[in-house]
């Protein structure tokens, strides 16, 4: 029992709900360093999905590269009648999300882009929406081309792929200017006062409650960033080749975009 007579709830991994909450909060602050106006970006993605799924009795939504699942949880809260899958290759982040956000979202371990990756999702009907934020840039161009094709095959007609990520422009000078504008916005929001990716993982490595999950994580063939750095027009070309009919950015700040492709 914890203080005040409150039971300390634990998941199968031995990580307490309180510990999961602490690390998820730190994760969300850390991510603000890498996504300009992250909260607004997630809100815009949820707005798009809500609009597209209006009138659908049980929409099926998948969040790709979910991390602990902040976007998936937001979608589950916004659309309680939907089935939301949160997909990532990292067992530690998935377990933190499971413990912190609860059962409204189904968490699935899969390496996006690997042959047969969609089979792990056990989809029983076409997708209404596939979303991602600050994740698909991990894929190189051939893998991303295949993922876009895979998703086009699994989305229903009128379904959407919504990708929130940092996407450069074709003109280098405009990309540099957009990066500067985004950096200044992040400074105004105090985003750079938070810990970065490396320090988050270093700190997590000192928490004994995470030791088993970290060992499990080390046993996995986790993907590393391929650094494709495709431009916005490059993504648009791949999406059109995959079979998406209508493609465009619906939100932008600096190089941070929400790119929407309608099947």
Contact (CB, 8 A) for 151 and 237: no
Q: In the 8-state DSSP scheme, what is residue 169?
A: -
Give the residue-averaged pLDDT of 70-76: 97
**Angle, CA of 212, 21 and 207, to the nearest 5°:** 35
pLDDT greater than 70 at residue 227: no
CB atoms within 10 A of CB 259: 22
Query: What's the burial of 207, exposed, middle or buried (CB within 10 Å: 0-12/13-18/19+)?
Result: middle
User: What's the CA gap between 175 and 160, in Å, rounded?
Assistant: 26
pLDDT tens digit string along 27-72? Answer: 999 999 989 899 999 999 999 999 999 999 999 999 999 999 999 9
pLDDT greater than 50 at residue 125: yes
Q: In the 8-state DSSP scheme, what is residue 226?
A: -
- What's the confidence (pLDDT) of residue 228? 60
Give the residue-averaged pLDDT of 143-150: 96
pLDDT greater than 60 at residue 106: yes
- What does each C-alpha distance from 50 to 27, 63, 132 come to in angstroms? 26, 14, 15
All structural domains of the chain: 3-262 (3.40.50.150)
Q: In the 8-state DSSP scheme, what is residue 14?
A: S
Give the residue-averaged pLDDT of 100-116: 93
Find, among 30, 38, 91, 47, the residue nearest to 215 by Cα: 91
pLDDT tens digit string along 213-222? Answer: 999 999 987 8
* Better-predicted residue by pLDDT, 226 or 87: 87
Contact (CB, 8 A) for 60 and 126: yes
Radius of gyration of the chain (CA): 18
Give the residue-averaged pLDDT of 131-155: 95
SS3 34: coil
pLDDT greater than 50 at residue 252: yes
């Amino acid at each position: 029992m914890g203080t005040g007579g409150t039971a300390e709830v634990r998941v199968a991994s031995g990580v307490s709900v309180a510990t999961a909450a602490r690390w998820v909060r730190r994760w969300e602050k850390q991510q603000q360093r890498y996504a300009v106006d992250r909260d607004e970006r997630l809100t815009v993605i949820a707005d798009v999905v809500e609009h597209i799924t209006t009138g659908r009795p049980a929409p099926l939504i998948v969040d790709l590269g979910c991390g602990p699942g902040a976007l998936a949880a937001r979608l589950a809260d916004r659309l309680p009648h939907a089935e939301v899958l949160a997909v990532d290759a990292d067992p530690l982040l998935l377990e933190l999300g499971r413990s912190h956000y609860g059962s409204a979202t189904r968490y699935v371990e899969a390496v996006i882009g690997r042959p047969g990756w969609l089979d792990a999702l056990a989809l029983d009907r076409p997708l209404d929406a596939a979303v991602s934020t600050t994740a698909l840039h991990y894929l190189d161009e051939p893998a991303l081309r295949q993922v876009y094709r895979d998703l086009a095959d699994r989305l229903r007609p009128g379904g959407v792929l919504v990708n929130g990520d940092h996407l450069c422009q074709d003109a280098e000078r405009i990309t540099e200017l957009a990066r500067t504008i985004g950096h200044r916005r992040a400074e105004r929001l105090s985003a750079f006062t938070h810990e970065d990716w490396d320090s988050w993982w270093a700190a997590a490595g000192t928490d004994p409650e995470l030791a088993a999950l970290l060992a499990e994580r080390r046993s996995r063939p986790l993907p590393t960033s391929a650094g494709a750095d495709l431009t916005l027009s490059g993504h648009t070309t791949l999406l059109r080749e995959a079979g998406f009919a209508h493609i465009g950015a619906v939100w932008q700040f600096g190089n941070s975009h929400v790119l929407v492709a309608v099947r």
